[in-house]
A and B are shown apart, each in its own frame.
Chain A
């Protein structure tokens, strides 16, 4: 199992993980192009929860026994090599996974009728949010 963990005690709620997640999942993967010129800005796969002085980033926990995978009616969500994978081409936007995920880590893209979630930046050695977190609050946890 691999997942991104947030050390809430050092998260400053800057939302840079959200910004970089969008960049990484954009067409150009260039922050200026992605935010200025690309027609559609990708949905971030990470949320930052904030209340008073406390904040933390939250993304897919890549659960051992993933409720979202059980609930997925289309087979878009499945588990492979310890990672919960989402095949957007199979997703029909039924939001069964939104109902199932106890972390609220699945984000709805209502425009396209697709669910999105953290893919650990497939293809990158380290997820971009971890790399860019200015206070090193985000770390990759490897376990089980």
Chain B
């Protein structure tokens, strides 16, 4: 088989690239390879599905006829090797696909911390009742188990976004949930102490049990996980264990090849890897971060999409630079909305504007660096988040009007006319 464009991966980055390619080149042969499913779904939606907020059909990211409409040949196979010299990828069944341009959008795999009594190999645990929570398959399997009535007590390892969303979904399904998390601080690196304290209190009031400062030492049970043992010897019985301890870039296709890898696949601002005609985006890549002005892992749906789009354009000869992303999250925990972006947790060396109403769980924290917005945390009052994000992106000096940023009616109208004109076009 041969094609002009080969995309390995069928999630945010892959789809974005395919859409960009089709905006420029309607007819060049385009193949998308994915081991998982032939129809793209949104990983970010799996907690909503597990919680019963949306039905399965709504998990899909694009319409059923997306591939046909865009003349995309979708192949549901696992790519096992790529011969970068001969520009050829090999599938698990031996099928070979020659490409002109290749996009690696292989995503990430869940990180499983070592625990006694638990083995993880090829995406499978050696005990029943233990799951990761990054794929639709995971969500379906967990839901099936919960709905079969065999889950009274659940333990979630990891108190990050994914862990907390899994915990909330399980509680909604009627399980008794305990979250085990290593750090005392919630979302360290993203939340400061105030945000962490506020959200923790909200989680507690919502009935979530969270044990901070702990790890799981061992998982006990013959065939199924029946109990976890913490580092201090505490035993917690469970019928279900979810491991949500973060993700790692999926880079096995390029290990030992000429494609340079640091923590993720290294790309430039045009999403090109160190090998000609090979691009990468999304969770598997280290992409540009405009706040830090460096390249780093940013495993988020939005940055994967934006990066994939830039990759797609460059793959068909339209030069674009990626300058879109930084760590940016819109989250909600038991109804509490929280937004964080950029440099949000740091204090030293930055000017920090704050408004805190601890009781009402209202918090606005804007971090300025040399007079420019470098990051933010917003709890409950999130409506102006986009404007702040816009100020971050444009890098406008906000010092002349910084007092306005936290005012209740802050809007584009508060900006000097010239700045406003530049933003509004």
Contacts and interface: CB of A to CB of B under 8 A. Distances in A.
Nearest to B54: A92
Given A51-B413, A70-B324, A74-B45, A108 B383 contact: yes
Contacts of A70: 16, 302, 305-306, 309, 324
Contacts of A99: 328-330, 339, 341, 382, 385-386, 389
A51 B341 CA distance: 28
Interface in B312-346: 324, 328-330, 332, 337, 339, 341
A56 to B, nearest CB: 7
A134 interface: no
Given A70-B324, A75-B42, A92-B54, A98 B413 contact: no
B386 A100 contact: yes
A31 interface: no
A71 B306 CA distance: 8
Contacts of B423: 102-103
Given A70-B324, A75-B62, A95 B413 contact: no
B388 to A, nearest CB: 9
Give the contact-size bracket for chain B.
Answer: 35 or more
A73 interface: yes
Interface string B346-388: 0000000000000000000000000000000000001111110
Given A70-B302, A99-B389, A102-B389, A49 B48 contact: no
Contacts of A105: 386
10 contacts: A70-B305, A73-B301, A75-B42, A92-B45, A92-B48, A99-B382, A99-B386, A100-B302, A102-B393, A108-B382
Given A49-B412, A98-B385, 7 more contacts: A73-B45, A89-B58, A95-B382, A96-B301, A98-B383, A101-B386, A103-B390
